[in-house]
């Protein structure tokens, strides 16, 4: 351990503060709207799965609540065409 480490080790509180700020800004977003997002995710996934074979992780939903406008972002990653049902070349 160098002399530098000796001094650095003492200031752990700023690290704690930063980690908390990052973590909580994320968690507040997720937890506040978890019910709605979870329901949307399940239903959208079900609709897509009727027509295309997709992974559970392939559907990402994000909700940004703003003061004047809220944005619902749905990101669906489709597999390559070969995985699509009903559209296979015969």
Partner 1 sequence: MAKVLVVTSGKGGVGKTTSTAALGAALAQGGENVVVVDFDVGLRNLDLVMGAERRVVFDLINVVQGDAKLNQALIRDKRIETLSLLPASQTRDKDALTEAGVERVIAELKEKFDWVICDSPAGIERGALLAMRHADVAIVVTNPEVSSVRDSDRIIGMLDSKTLKAEKGERMEKHLLLTRYDAGRAARNEMLKTEDILEILSIPLLGIIPESEEVLRASNIGSPVTLNNPTSAPSRAYFDAVKRLKGEMVDVVVPMERKGFISRLFGRRVA
In order of 1, 49, 57, the CA distances from 14 in angstroms are: 21, 46, 35
Q: Which of 1, 3, 6, 13 binds partner 1 (CB under 8 A)?
A: 13
Q: Which helix (H) or strand (E) holds 70?
A: strand 70-76
Q: Which of 2, 5, 6, 12 binds partner 1 (CB under 8 A)?
A: 12
Q: Name beta bridge partners: 64.
A: 71
Quick one: which segment of 14-22, 49-57, 63-71, 75-83 binds partner 1 (CB under 8 A)?
A: 14-22
Which of positions 48-87 make contact with partner 1 (CB under 8 A)?
A: none
């Amino acid at each position: 351990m160098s002399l530098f480490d000796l001094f650095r080790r003492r200031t752990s509180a700023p690290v704690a503060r930063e980690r908390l700020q990052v973590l909580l800004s994320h968690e507040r977003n997720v937890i506040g709207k978890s019910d709605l997002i979870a329901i949307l995710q399940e239903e959208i996934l079900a609709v897509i799965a009727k027509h295309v074979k997709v992974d559970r992780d392939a559907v990402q939903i994000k909700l940004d609540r703003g003061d004047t406008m809220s944005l619902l972002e749905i990101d669906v990653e489709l597999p390559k065409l070969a995985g699509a049902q009903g559209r296979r070349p015969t």
